[in-house]
Amino acid sequence: MASTQHNNRNMEDKMRHAEDKVGRMTESAGQKLGTVASDLATTASRYTKAGREYWETGRDFINDNPVKGAAIAGAGGVVLGSLLTMMLGRRR
């Protein structure tokens, strides 16, 4: 009987230890997830700002040079169209 009580207490101690360990692991995972989310938000903000600046620079160039802007867009369209035609033509 004493052995059964000892085994029960030993099992209870192991359960408490496991609960504490799971709690610590959960807290650690939450902290790491928070750090990753923060880093991701910072990176996204940086890329958004860079994209906005790139867009504004392009818009300003087109406003200052509409003929060059149209020529560049036309040339880009021809190149892209040619590449797509070559890619799709090879599949047939």
Task: Decide: 61 and 69 in contact? Cβ < 8 Å.
Answer: yes
Distance CA 74, CA 67 (A): 10
The SS3 of residue 34 is helix
Low-confidence ranges of the chain (pLDDT < 70): 1-2, 91-92
Q: Is the pTM of this model over 0.75?
A: no
